[in-house]
Amino acid sequence: MDIGATLSRAFNIALKHRALWVLGFLVSLISQVNSAGSALSNSGSSLLIGPSAEAPPEVERFFNQLARDPGLIVTGLAGFLCLALLISLVLWIISIIAQGGLIGGVQQIEEEGGTTFGQAWSVGVRRFWPLFGLSLLLGLPGLLLLAVFALLLGGMFVPIIAAAVSGDESALSTAAGNAFALICCCGGALGCIGLLYAIIAAALQTFGERAIVLEQKGVMDAIRRGWEVFRSNLGSIILLALLMLVVNILVSVVIAIVGGLLFAPTLVAAILSAGNEGGMSNSSLVLVGLNSVLVVIVAAIINAIFAAFSSAVWTLAYRQFTGAGGLIAEPQSPAPLPTA
């Protein structure tokens, strides 16, 4: 495998075919929203209200009503959880289709010379169910490990609670020590198993998706094909993964610098506004919110190009690993005609 030529070809594909940017934008925007939402809310929570600010009467009446009717809290939480679950499911579906579209788009570029958003998106739609099944199947062992850890953690608290209820300090100390030793041993073992499985699952996901899209495999056949490709080309895959990790770090640094430059003026204004006697004004809150959205979108745009590049790298690598096709050289400009 010619890694240098693969990276160069993938970069040219990601740079020239903007239809892939849209698919990469969908993938990266979903991940940015999921990761940045909590971070922005946590960072902004300490700036919202000054020490002398009072809640509006409408807010006080709302919380008083909640205190008088606890059932309203349960209903609201249930509705919020259902809405969050529905939104997560929709975002997951879009992400799966976009990933399939990125793979299919690179294949169309290599075989047909170009692609459009509609053509690439249609590939993701057609292969959605196998891609969905692959993602679901590979995610189940991870959920199982989390369930085992949760049961282990819950079981450790039983003797601690029993000792605390009995009032026996010696038994409580012994139970706490045993629980700490158990969580260190079992938790460490489960962590190592989880890390090893995460690496294998990432490889099976990467190559299994390409087996589904490029070779029309079913879920189980795609897993077997992905393992075969991973095992047979382990050295090249490790080297390529390390190079992509370096590129990913560089992209993250660029995003952090750009996001910091964009958000810094608004953050300074928000801090100054929060220090006023009346606390942060509503206009400052709106400005912080809009600027946060801008940072998320700009980060997603940068990540969109990287997502297209990364997908192209692994798709081109898969084609070389499976003998589906070599790299297509970029067309050269014709030599100038001789002049008299």
258-286 per-position pLDDT tens digit: 888 887 777 776 676 666 655 556 666 77
pLDDT in tens, 81-124: 888 888 888 888 898 999 999 999 999 999 998 999 999 999 99
Helix (H) or strand (E) holding 17: none
102-121 CB burial, b ≥16 within 10 A, e <16: bbbbbbbbbeeeebebeebb
133 touches 219 (CB < 8 A) = yes
Q: Please enumerate in sequence order all residues whose Cβ is within 8 A of that of 201, keeping only pairs 6 or more positions apart, or say none.
A: 138, 139, 141, 142
Of the candidates 318, 323, 254, 333, the residue with the CA atom closest to the CA atom of residue 10: 318
Instruction: Return the structure tokens found at 186.
Output: 């079992």
Q: Is the pLDDT score of 57 beyond 70?
A: no
pLDDT of the residue at 27: 79
Secondary structure (3-state) at 291? helix
Q: What is the pLDDT of residue 48?
A: 40
- pLDDT tens column, 244-259: 999 999 999 998 898 8
The model's pTM: 0.75
Cα–Cα distance for residue pair 122/128, rounded to 1 Å? 10
Burial class (CB in 10 A: 0-12, 13-18, 19+), 205: buried
Nearest Cα to Cα of residue 125 among 98, 91, 107? 98
The Cα–Cα gap between 134 and 139 comes to: 8
263: region left, alpha or beta (phi > 0 left; psi from -120 to 50 alpha): alpha
pLDDT value at residue 37: 46
From the number of C-beta atoms within 10 Å of its C-beta (0-12, 13-18, 19+), residue 332 rates as exposed
Give the separation between CA 120 and CA 106, rounded to whole angstroms.
Answer: 8
Q: Packing angle between helix 219-232 and helix 282-322, nearest 10 degrees?
A: 70
Do you know the residue count of the chain?
Answer: 340
The two three-digit tokens of residue 283, written as one number: 């206009």
| Mean pLDDT for the stretch of residues 147-171 | 75
Whose CA is closest to 239, among 8, 6, 9, 10?
6
In this predicted structure, the answer to whether residue 339 has a pLDDT above a threshold of 60 is no
CA angle, 119 then 123 then 306, to 5°: 80
Q: Are 187 and 152 in contact (CB under 8 A)?
A: yes
